[in-house]
């Protein structure tokens, strides 16, 4: 499906939040297909609710929790469009017009390889280290590029770092667009102890990227807003 866009939504132990995400996305006319992947949540209640409430979407449940990259890779098998929107299952405050505008921007402009939907109103991101861009999981990119990223997926990388590395290596043109989306702090979702554990795990994964690459991406990667 040339110049169309599918959406992959991975989630793990997110309660009813993925249901609200799908409800919003169904109003986005530029999204051709929605694929939700339950990454082995402790309970299957959300997965079953998604299948029952939204028969028009593709809902997949993994047996074990293996991490966001594997969930996205599983969802990628069902993508039929030329472009993919990656959207986390815990986000809120989705603005339909912003998503339609972003999808239209990348699908109609061959000079744009990826758009990062910058969390411009989200105080859970550390903007001073450009976390709202560099490690932001809300992205629009070509399906073929995402396939290529997984073919040579670097061991120990988070998906966002691996995607950045691929884009840099292949001289891809990457831009950001402001996005009103909001996230919860991890300790709000999982409790203080479990939340701290996930922050520590993310920090270790970031360090595995390598200090030179981490610094370079933080300072220089995706500096420009998408052209109006």
In the predicted model, is pLDDT for residue 225 greater than 90? yes
**Which residues, other chains included, contact 79 with Cβ-Cβ below 8 Å and sequence gap of 6+?**
6, 8, 33, 35, 143
- CATH number of the domain that 158 lies in? 3.90.550.10
**Is the Cβ–Cβ distance between 58 and 36 less than 8 Å?**
yes
Whether 226 maps to a domain, the answer reads no
Residue 31 to residue 130: CA distance in whole angstroms: 28
180 inside domain: yes
Is 81 a member of any domain? yes
pLDDT (average), residues 11-18: 94
Gap between the Cα atoms of 154 and 177, Å rounded: 27
Residue 228 falls inside a structural domain: no
Q: Which of 116, 114, 85, 96 is nearest to 4 (CA)?
A: 85
Residue 189 and residue 143 in contact, taking contact as beta carbons nearer than 8 Å:
no
In a domain, 225, yes or no: no
Q: Is 148 part of any domain?
A: yes
Residue among 179, 180, 163, 170 nearest 217 (CA): 163
Q: Which domain holds residue 215?
A: 5-220
Does residue 140 form part of some domain?
yes
Beta strands per DSSP E along 169-217: 174-179
**Sign, Cα dihedral of 16, 193, 180, 106:** negative
Q: What pLDDT score does 213 carry?
A: 83
Residue 122 lies in a domain: yes
Q: Decide: pTM greater than 0.85.
A: yes
Instruction: Look at the chain and report how many structural domains it folds into.
Output: 1
CA angle 181, 184, 187 (to 5 degrees): 165
Split at pLDDT 50, 70, 90, the class of 188 is: low
pLDDT digit string, tens, across residues 129-164: 788 899 899 999 999 999 999 998 876 678 999 999
Residue 102 vs residues 83, 109, 116, 139: alpha-carbon distances, Å? 12, 11, 9, 10
């Amino acid at each position: 499906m040339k110049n169309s866009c599918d959406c992959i939504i991975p989630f793990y132990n997110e309660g009813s939040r993925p249901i609200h995400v799908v409800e919003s996305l169904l109003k986005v006319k530029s999204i051709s297909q929605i694929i939700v992947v339950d990454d082995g949540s402790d309970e299957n209640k959300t997965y079953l609710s998604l299948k029952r409430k939204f028969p028009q979407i593709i809902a997949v449940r993994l047996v074990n929790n293996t991490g966001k990259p594997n969930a996205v890779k599983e969802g990628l098998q069902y993508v039929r469009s030329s472009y993919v929107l990656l959207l986390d299952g815990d986000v809120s405050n989705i603005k339909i017009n912003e998503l339609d505008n972003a999808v239209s921007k990348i699908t109609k402009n061959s000079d744009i390889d990826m758009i990062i939907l910058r969390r411009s109103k989200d105080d859970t991101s550390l903007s001073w280290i450009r976390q709202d861009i560099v490690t932001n999981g809300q992205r629009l990119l070509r399906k073929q590029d995402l396939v290529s990223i997984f073919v040579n997926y670097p061991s120990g990388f988070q998906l966002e770092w691996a995607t950045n590395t691929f884009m840099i290596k292949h001289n891809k043109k990457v831009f950001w667009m402001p996005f009103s989306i909001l996230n919860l702090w991890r300790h709000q979702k999982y409790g203080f102890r479990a939340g701290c554990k996930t922050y520590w795990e993310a920090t270790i994964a970031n360090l595995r990227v390598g200090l030179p690459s981490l610094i370079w991406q933080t300072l220089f990667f995706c500096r420009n807003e998408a052209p109006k």
